[in-house]
Chains A and B, each alone.
Chain A
């Protein structure tokens, strides 16, 4: 009698453990959902185009700073054309980044965007960005990249300055 009891309870507990294992992986997509819900700022959505209609707010100015990182030394020259600009929320702006492949062979690049402060992430919309897709470079080629963005007028009043950062990486094999 107890043998059968043992078996069913044991099976249930193994299923529980398997469920926990799956849950560990489920945390990956859940993380994005949670970031959305809590206003943490969904970083993966930063790399997607959004459709927004211009509706400028004329009585408010927000400073947008641009910073760039080329983490692997000696592979990329990467810098913003303008270090910062004052923008009206709701209006479409354009910023440029200068990028050069420093190596003597062609390579595919992937820029990773990031916004600080985190809470501003969901209020920063891009209609066009070189970070949406991997970018091909010839040997030692220089390219001028453009990003078009709108700061959402709903940006909390507690934020008067936000920073758009890009890190330039070689695209992972397979994703290029």
Chain B
């Protein structure tokens, strides 16, 4: 952790005051031609919030159809489109852009840099996204309907997609390009623009987790691009990469896809680890336990993520040795993940805890992500996986790690840094209401899905046997509650942007010497750290 030379921020401030003409442009030009990391970060976060509601609406349609047995609202094709689009929108539209937005806002502030290293590329990587998602969402209106083959896009089923097919592939290419550019920007910023004295092992953990995530992104997003390109040529140009009739192999697609897909899972959780590692020490008033171990744990999780991909496909028919290897490798991931959970617990142990909204979300993350981790461990046991695979047990598992995992961490980050961004404290009571509603409903929503899966309900089905009716109804009620609760988040953010009690520079008066961002005013000047601060 870094100890900050507190004069540095004020120097930067003074410096800034002399250059007021550097302020933001007026009107739409500020956003369309944005190169300022704070503006771009804001746009990323707002885009992510929008997509969170778009994907959430799809989830509501799914849960409404599953509210009771029988088909009441949508036909099976549209249902399949909803599950597919919900996943694509939430993964590539909500979770990943939220992390990139946080990276944009916070990494320059945390490493003491005036901006991201490549501001024009930053603008480009953001503005690709609205186009990509317009393209993707437009497939809802084309002949043959939106993609309905699941977000994994397995051939040969995906090749039955109608006119949506090329649009989907192109949208995935664009999202990939955006992510890669974002990742390059993060790496160059961290490697080249750290303030003097900030060695790698003094960086805040959020920055560390993003550095590793960015490398993962560059390593695997192009592989996804390759896989979907092969789908495209199989469909239009007569290649037979994945088509048995021409000597190809549909299983090979799954290997390539999950070679991307598993690191992708960690792309969505490593920054969350970083966020939680920032928040827990602040509100425990105690330094993070085992900083070095935390960094090494993230790195080893990232490494292991490349050698476990086939645990997503134990039922394809693998040789015994392959099944054993992927089972052991998968279980091994529990070790560094365990170290992280233990270290967070040890940080709280003998601390002095207070429970502001960011801490509440971080604690919820701790408990509920662990539950997702446990079900992950169960899924690693290959013989048991033969039962769990493609059932609601899997759905429950990955939603536990993604919703109270990744999404709660994002919300924790927003509640943690929002006063820094806007300069106003938000409505604490409303934020706590949002927390309790979210935490209760997320469990009502996803916990029963474990039971459904174990009882034998397959995933991705719009209708089910009546024995599954009761838990599905509970789950749907949880879903509606969770969906409505998120309107509170919008209210909190809206109020905080509009006004409120002025936030101090430190925002959280917990006496913890934490990152450089807290040496700046709240909100920070439009151009911060034009003179690099000094880190001791």
Q: Give the B-binding residues of A (Cβ under 8 A).
A: 2, 5-6, 9-10, 13-14, 16-25, 27-28, 31, 38-41, 43-44, 47, 110, 112, 116, 118-119, 167, 169-175
Contacts and interface: CB of A to CB of B under 8 A. Distances in A.
B266 to A, nearest CB: 16
A25 B229 CA distance: 9
Contact of A6 (B118, B222, B322): B118
25 contacts: A9-B187, A9-B192, A10-B117, A10-B184, A13-B188, A16-B218, A18-B222, A20-B221, A23-B222, A24-B227, A24-B260, A25-B226, A25-B230, A27-B255, A28-B241, A40-B322, A41-B319, A112-B244, A116-B317, A118-B317, A118-B318, A119-B319, A169-B244, A172-B240, A172-B243
Given A5-B192, A13-B184, A24-B222, 16 more contacts: A9-B188, A9-B191, A10-B184, A10-B188, A13-B188, A16-B218, A17-B184, A17-B222, A20-B218, A21-B226, A24-B227, A25-B230, A38-B319, A118-B317, A118-B319, A169-B245
A27 B242 CA distance: 12
B220 A20 contact: yes
Interface of B: 117-118, 180, 183-184, 187-188, 191-193, 218-227, 230, 238, 240-241, 243-247, 249, 252, 255-256, 259-260, 317-322
Contacts of B223: 20-21, 23-24, 27
Contact of B247 (A9, A13, A16, A44): A44
Q: Which 4 A-B pairs have the closest CB atoms?
A: A24-B226, A21-B222, A169-B245, A20-B222
A112 to B, nearest CB: 5
Contacts of B219: 16, 20
Residue among B218, B227, B238, B245 with most chain A CB within 10 A: B245
B241 A172 contact: no
Contacts of A19: 222
Contact of B184 (A14, A169, A170): A14
B188 A6 contact: yes
A169 B218 CA distance: 39
A17 B238 CA distance: 27
A17 B247 CA distance: 29
Taking each of A2, A16, A44, A174, which has the highest tally of chain B beta carbons within 10 Å of its own beta carbon? A16
Nearest to A39: B319
A22 B219 CA distance: 11
A13 B187 contact: yes
Q: Which of B221, B247, B317 has the most CB of A within 10 A?
A: B247
A43 B223 CA distance: 23
A37 to B, nearest CB: 11
Nearest to B226: A24
Contacts of A173: 238
A107 to B, nearest CB: 13
Nearest to A47: B247
Contacts of A175: 246
A23 B218 CA distance: 12
A22 B180 CA distance: 15
A31 B192 contact: no
B249 A43 contact: yes
A120 B395 CA distance: 35
B532 to A, nearest CB: 11
A6 B192 contact: yes
A28 B218 CA distance: 20
Contacts of B318: 40, 118
A167 B180 contact: no
Contacts of A38: 319, 321-322
